[in-house]
Amino acid sequence: MQSARRSLTTLARGAALLAAVTVGAAGCSSKKSFEVSGLCGRKVDSALVAPFLPKGETLKVDDGISAPEQPRCQVYVDGDLRLYVRGNIDKADFDILKATERSMRRLGNPAPADGIGDGATIADRGAMAVQACTYKGEERQYILEIDSVDHPANTVERREALQKLLRAHLPVIMKAEGCRP
């Protein structure tokens, strides 16, 4: 009788230990949501970046690839590039949207977007906006590009999120770079 009781006790302890390890392992591997409040060294509303970031275990924001007049940053979740933001101050004498039309097609179904800068294009996996500005007393244009976007999975939601981020971030990054509309 005592050996049957001992066996049940041992089984109960084993089951409890297995449950604890399983719960602990699940807690260790649980994925979390991330907040990014800065892109390319500029403040950004984290709610505008959140749609592009799947849940994961690690987040890395690399702002170290920027240069004067060319802010650049990459956002990685679990080592996968999820967002690449590039800004450029360029000469005002050419139509960048027309010049990059072919490269925008690689991002999937580019279409004009109204009300963003002097012109904008939103594609399935990226976006671009252009705004004329004065930089160091010269007529220039500011170009903001966002690509490497594949989250959220729903393309309509992704395009809407790209449009919101582009609309909000263009004036912020232009001002920070000293490019006045």
Return the pLDDT at 65: 79
Starting at the earlier edge strand, list the strands of the sheet with 72-77. 59-62, 72-77, 80-91, 138-147, 127-135, 119-122, 111-112
Radius of gyration for the alpha carbons in the chain, expressed in angstroms and rounded: 24
Return the pLDDT at 134: 97
Question: Residue 82 corresponds to which tokens in the numbers above?
Answer: 């999820």
DSSP label of 52: G
Q: How far apart are CA 78 and CA 27, in angstroms?
A: 17
pLDDT at residue 9 tops 70: no
174 or 21, higher pLDDT:
174
For 46-74, write each residue's pLDDT tens digit.
Answer: 999 999 999 999 999 998 877 777 899 99
Residue-range domain boundaries for the chain: 1-30, 38-177
Return the pLDDT at 41: 86
